[in-house]
Structure 1
Amino acid sequence: MRRAEQVTFGGSDLDRSAAERRDSDGLAAALAGGAGVIALWQGKPLVAGDPAEGPCRLVRLPAGHPVLSAATEAPIFLGRIEGAAVFAQDISGWVPPEPVDEAQIAAFLDPTVQRHPAAPDGSAFRELRGIMTRLDARDAELAATARALWNWHRSHGYCAKCGAPSEVAEAGWQRLCPACGAHHFPRTDPVVIMLVTRGDRVLLGRSPGWPDGMFSLLAGFVEPGETIEAAVRREVFEETAVRVGQVDYLAGQPWPFPASLMIGCHGAALSDEITVDPNELEAARWVTRAELLTVFAGKHPEIRPARRGAIAHFLLEHWLADRLD
């Protein structure tokens, strides 16, 4: 698919400069020399701009900025942009001056905004899902990388081999166990997401707990010992009893919610009848191309489209425009 890297989080000119991760002296010098640091609070990046009004951009702070004073770990080295080093640092220990609604923070899409009194004017911590289409490709890749690493460190503080507390290493790209010497690396979970079609119809489903009316493409984790093609066929059959034949890769999308790689595929359905597994889906249905046009126009009485910025929206949009080449 020639347009594959146009998907949100699809990549930019970030040089991940992996060899530098072991150069602690060089990275310290880069920080002291004014390298930019992206602040994260509960996984939400500090950004300038209001997504309701226009584009947003990641705020880059100098090391030692007052906003970063609540950090308990060293900055993570994300890479270099046009030669300039970029880091991310977690300040989740900071307590916002306004009350925090924990239920909204944990919601499917956190609508809350937190403003640090020491942050630059016009900046705030915002949920990445809500701003991902308002960031340029460079900031989107940096934000996705930073959030995915934050999620990993938050959930992997103990050695999986012996259970002892592990320590951050390699500028945030490893955790080492001082007790048994085990090395642990950031985890990315492969997920297949399927544009399953039969003639001029596409198969859509909705999971329990999604916003009212929201339908999307079927998706599921790849299991150990399984190919991508087999995962597509298995997941679709398990969730809907629809059988799939030919499977082709279309596009991939890093999805840091919490740490997935979405593998977008096109599957040709061999059967029509749907039997929903209630443990997996709340509903599933075939939708014609003409009907999907009304969904994207916001005029369908029952269906809301997949979220803009998600690979499901990207694939459906390109299927509608007959641009899956």
Structure 2
Amino acid sequence: MKDNPYLLFNNEILDRRADLRDHWEVDSCVKKNDGLNIIFFEGAPLLSTQNEQSNLAYLFYNHWLLKYANLSIFLGLYKGRRLYAHDLFRKGKGTGNKNTKEYFEEKIQKDPSMVRSYFGNLRTDLTNIPEDDSTLAGTGRALIEWNLNNIHCSRCGLSLILLNYGWEKRCENCNKNYFPRIDPVVIILITSGNKTLLGRSHQFPEKLYSCLAGFIEPGETIEMAAKREIQEEVGLKISNIEFVANQPWPFPSSLMIGLKANTDEQSLNINHKELEDAVWIRKKELQYLLEGKYKHMQAARPGTIARHLLESWVRGTI
């Protein structure tokens, strides 16, 4: 375990500057080369590797890759410089008959300045890039996916126009405005004495166990959602619900709300439509699990809020 549990996507390093989202203001700065650009292809950020360390690849305004961008978003100011996220064409535009990803990868490898660049998987590479980069990549990815998933008006079906450089859309027919949304999720560390409950979802990677979680439904408070989810998934009644931490999660756009709760019950009634498995584990056993000493189980990855909750409980800080 790390000495201090950390959370990815949580660094407060981006000055969002909503007052600079006007298209004319942003475009005039782009032409002055006053900014940095990060690139995404199918949700994967462009990374560069030096000395076995992966970082976001920051490109200047005249880089050849930018001519393939089908969507550009002004993220804000990073270290005083304007930062833009761009999504590349996903369906072969300008790439001839080649597979689009292969086309970009081939051109990147032929560029002497980019031979160590590649499109990384933000989920699997998230612990290999600096924390600042994970925050910027997470913000860029979430906004790109929101834009690409909101093309038509939900009221009349006509195409939406882009406003505020990627932070708003509008239907010119019925004048309905759209803004980036987030989906709030409760994730709960449940304890009973010196034991905590770990669950395994059907879609988890092999051997992975984590804290139980679920989406907040309309009309619910955070506490109500936590109680309902745990009752639905394992049949337990929880109490003493406390907020611990939260984390934006750009897959595609959740806000993970980390909680700690207690229960006097230990008999589980697992809802197998929701969970593949759930087990109680003692604090010492959890420490071994976090240290990677169990071959049959794996804990949530470092940088996730589930890992943060588990490590904090083992240390006695929550």
Structure 2 residue aligned with 1:206, among 186, 189, 200?
A: 200
Q: Once the 2 structures are TM-superposed, how far is the Cα of residue 94 of structure 1 from its aligned partner? A: 6.5
- The partner residue of 2:90 within 66, 88, 93 is 93
Pairing 1:134-145 to 2, within 5 Å after superposition? 134-145=128-139
Q: Tell me the equivalent position of 1:304.
A: 298
Output the CA distance in 2 between the equivalents of 1:313 and 1:100.
36
1:159-238, aligned counterparts within 5 Å? 159-238=153-232
Pair 1:47 & 2:41 matched: no
Q: Is the 8 A contact 1:5 1:11 kept in 2?
A: no
Q: Secondary structure at the match of 1:72?
A: strand
- How high is the TM-score relative to the length of structure 2? 0.90
Per-residue deviation at 1:86?
0.2
RMSD: 2.4
Query: Secondary structure of 1:26's partner?
Result: helix
Where does residue 79 of structure 1 map in the other structure?
76
Give the CA deviation at 1:232: 0.8
Pick closer, same or farther for the CA change 1:5–1:312 going to 2, 3 Å.
Answer: closer
Distance across 2 between alignment mates of 1:223 and 1:56: 38
Please list the CA deviations of residues 242-275 of structure 1 after superposition, one character each: whole Å capped at 9, or x if unmatched.
1101100000000000110000000111311101
Aligned residue for 1:89, secondary structure, equals strand
Alignment correspondent of 1:56: 54
Q: Evaluate the alpha carbon distance shift between residue 99 and residue 293 of structure 1 in structure 2; reply closer, same or farther with a 3 A threshold.
A: farther
When the two structures are aligned, how many residues end up with a matched partner?
308
In 2, are the aligned partners of 1:12 and 1:137 still within 8 Å (CA)? no
- What letter is aligned with 1:78? L
Change (3 A) 1:215 1:5: closer
Greater CA drift, 86-95 or 156-165: 86-95
Letter in 1 for 2:28: A
| CA-CA distance at 1:55 after TM superposition | 2.9
User: Secondary structure of 1:179's match?
Assistant: coil
Residue deviations 1:31-67, cap 9 Å, x none? 11221110100011111117xx743211111224211
Quick one: distance in 2 between partners of 1:145 and 1:217? 24
**Which residue is 1:104 aligned to?**
none
**Which ranges in structure 2 are unaligned for 5 or more consecutive residues?**
none
Where does structure 1 differ by over 3 angstroms across 4 or more consecutive aligned residues? 3-6, 94-101, 113-116
The structure whose residues are more often strand, as a share, is 2
Q: Is the 8 A contact 1:4 1:251 kept in 2?
A: no
How far off its partner does 1:137 sit?
2.8
| Residues 113-122 or 81-90, more deviating | 113-122
Secondary structure of the equivalent of 1:9?
coil
Q: Letter of the 1:69 partner, please give it.
A: K
- CA distance in structure 2 between the partners assigned to 1:100 and 1:195 by the alignment: 43
Unpaired segments ≥5 residues, structure 1: 102-112
Sequence identity, in percent? Answer: 35
